Structure 1
Amino acid sequence: MRTRAYAARRIAEGRSKLDAFRCLKRCFAREVLTLIIHRQPAINRTRIAA
């Protein structure tokens, strides 16, 4: 629901559909990066079995 609203808002601002999805990908990347940064200590403690 949030993604559709975000894309619709960008299109209403006058951006093309392709531009709106490009912005959406950037927004998604920022959110994922924020999650990774906040969970980095837990990720670093995790052992990977070889």
Structure 2
Amino acid sequence: MTVPLYQAKAELFRTLGHPLRIRVLELLCEGPKQVRELLAAIEVEAPNLS
């Protein structure tokens, strides 16, 4: 069963609905990063990054 485009978009925006997730995507747009690099740049604890 195919999901309507509007529903897929809503799910994507729901997933990105937290500033931390958006920041991780911004950092990854610059290129691959190791987890320790992300942790240092975002300044959060490891469980919060997962």
Query: Highest CA radius of gyration, 1 or 2?
Result: 1
TM-score by length of 1: 0.41
TM-score of the aligned structures, taking structure 2 as reference length: 0.41
More helix by share: 1
